[in-house]
Amino acid sequence: MNEKGMAADDGKRLFKQVYDHVIHRIEHGEWKAHEKLPSIRQLAEELGVHRLTVFRAYQMLKHNEKVYVKEKSGYYVNPNDPDRVVLEYGEDQPIVASGKLINSLSDIQRVSAAYQFSQALIDPNLLPNLFLSDYVKKVFDLYPKLMGTYSTVQGDEELREVLSRYMMQNHHTQLQASDIMITTGAQQAIDLLSRIFISPMDAVMIERPTYSAAIDIFRQQRARFIPVDIHHYGYDIANVERLMKQYKPRFFYMNPTFHNPTGYTVPSSQRKQLVELAERYRCLLIEDDAFHDMHFDGPPPQPLFTYDTEGWVVYLRSFSKYVAPGLRICAIIASPTVMKLLFTAKSLADNGSPLVNQKIFLHYFQSERLQQHIEKLRIALQVRRDIMEKELTPTGWNWVSPRGGLNLWIKLPEAIPVEQFLKECMQQSISFVPGIICDPLRKMRSQIRLSYSFINEKQLQQGVKNLVTVADRYS
């Protein structure tokens, strides 16, 4: 390449870097809607580039509708940017409830409601609290220096040993402690994998609908979404193959067992096929198995990772969710290659999850009480699901009865405008998740997710009755 070519290429590189720089600041909310950008001169100085480079970046930002121009004044952040990265739900589709703007799932969940159908969490009253407290005391007798000790980056070895044996017994697969990493909840696991695998513009396959936090995490890394519809019978496998072939996604993030939010389960027959596709098209599968143990009609099919011999499945299992969610224990099972990348990412992110939590969990996990607790919990959840479904039957709304998990995914009649409906429900102290939050394409405007796991039976019944009363106003 000659010198002139070099200079031109350097110019292009700088141009794109300036462009990205501005986008980053806008997306992170530093430069807000209608705020004036720095002058061309200012930004050129700040970044140490030529003013012409900034000028060209600003022109491109304008062309892409990221900014608008006021004559003789300057460049301003465009609030109507068509493909704005939605870090906050409300910037695209604001929902006003109880006079407050609802910006995201966590906002909806923060609004206190007597009838909480927006939390896919276990009612704390269903957890073995007293027993756990006693257990904790034993754990501290066992490890008197626990408070003074850091965990290793990958997680407590004793816990990983126990989990690997548990997985081998239950899933007939070969595993070692070194194949497992402990993270602070499944969300951290998704975030670490996203930081490792997603570069800007990377294609990522994702179910539609899906776990809303995953959408936000992948968007933050500026992924391109390749959505795959999930149905009660699984995926359209031919379509999955076509998409893998065409887009070569970095991974397919999936939640194939008692899927959140729909409750669907991908059948065994598709699981082996999916692993074969993953191998053939070199597309990692990230299998998020958050609800595995919460089945109502017998255990679900074996996880996809049990079919994997070549390391194309990364398996995430939230273990503490049904036992002691406050401990935030998730296990990632991955091939040595992926584990090495995870190790670096985790060591930079927090250098290892707290050991205290891992040891407390370890000892409870090994106790007989755990199995008894999980069996009781399944029954309790099934009863709650039945109550919710019974109260909803007269409405004629559409849903597929879930055979596990914590949620009902409901298609409302067209006559009910979901955002207005949520607003009115919140005024009645009822909360739920509007489906649009779970949709990577932000179009599912008549679906809602109702969680039946968080409030007790009596409240659940009354809450659903009240919800139906609000809905009746639209008919």
By CB under 8 A, the residues from 17 to 76 that bind a copy of itself are 17, 19-21, 24-25, 28-30, 45-48, 56, 59-60, 63
Distances (CA, A) of 233 to 54, 195, 312, 389: 52, 32, 23, 21
Euclidean distance between CA atoms 284 and 44, whole angstroms? 41
Q: Does 459 bind a copy of itself (CB under 8 A)?
A: no
Closer residue to a copy of itself, CB minimum distance, 295 or 373: 373
- DSSP category for residue 256: -
Q: Does 293 bind a copy of itself (CB under 8 A)?
A: no
Q: Does 327 bind a copy of itself (CB under 8 A)?
A: yes
Of 94-102, 170-178, 255-263, 344-352, which segment contacts a copy of itself by CB under 8 A? Answer: 344-352
HSE, CB side, 13 Å, CA atoms: give it for residue 131. Answer: 16
> What are 41's two structure tokens?
């001169």
Q: Does 216 bind a copy of itself (CB under 8 A)?
A: yes
Q: Per-residue x/- mask for a copy of itself, residues 180 to 199, rule CB under 8 A?
A: ----xx-xx--x----x--x
Q: Does 348 bind a copy of itself (CB under 8 A)?
A: yes
When binding is defined by CB under 8 A, the residue of 33, 69, 87, 96 that contacts a copy of itself is 87
Cα-only R_g, the chain: 24
- DSSP category for residue 200: T
Could you count the other beta carbons within 10 Å of the beta carbon of residue 335? 15
Euclidean distance between CA atoms 201 and 197, whole angstroms? 11
Q: How far is the CB of 345 from a copy of itself (least distance, A)?
A: 8
Q: Does 326 bind a copy of itself (CB under 8 A)?
A: yes
Euclidean distance between CA atoms 233 and 245, whole angstroms? 23
Closer residue to a copy of itself, CB minimum distance, 265 or 320: 320
The dihedral built from the CA positions of residue 193, 199, 201 and 202, taken in this order, carries a sign that is negative
Cα angle for residues 393, 396, 399 (degrees, 5° grid): 80
Please give the residues from 128 up to 157 whose contact with a copy of itself meets the rule CB under 8 A.
129-130, 132-133, 136-137, 140-141, 144-153
Please give the residues from 359 up to 388 whose contact with a copy of itself meets the rule CB under 8 A.
360
Q: Does 294 bind a copy of itself (CB under 8 A)?
A: no
When binding is defined by CB under 8 A, the residue of 100, 231, 242, 248 that contacts a copy of itself is 248
Euclidean distance between CA atoms 327 and 251, whole angstroms? 28
The answer to whether residues 364 and 132 touch, using CB atoms and an 8 Å cutoff, is: yes
Q: How far is the CB of 145 from a copy of itself (least distance, A)?
A: 5
Per-position DSSP letters for 427-464, written without gaps between them: HTTEE-EEGGGG-TTS---SEEEEE-SSS-HHHHHHHH
Q: Does 351 bind a copy of itself (CB under 8 A)?
A: yes
Element (H, E) at 194: helix 185-197
Q: Does 217 bind a copy of itself (CB under 8 A)?
A: yes
Closer residue to a copy of itself, CB minimum distance, 305 or 361: 361
Q: Does 91 bind a copy of itself (CB under 8 A)?
A: no
Q: Per-residue x/- mask for a copy of itself, residues 408 to 447, rule CB under 8 A?
A: ----------------------------------------
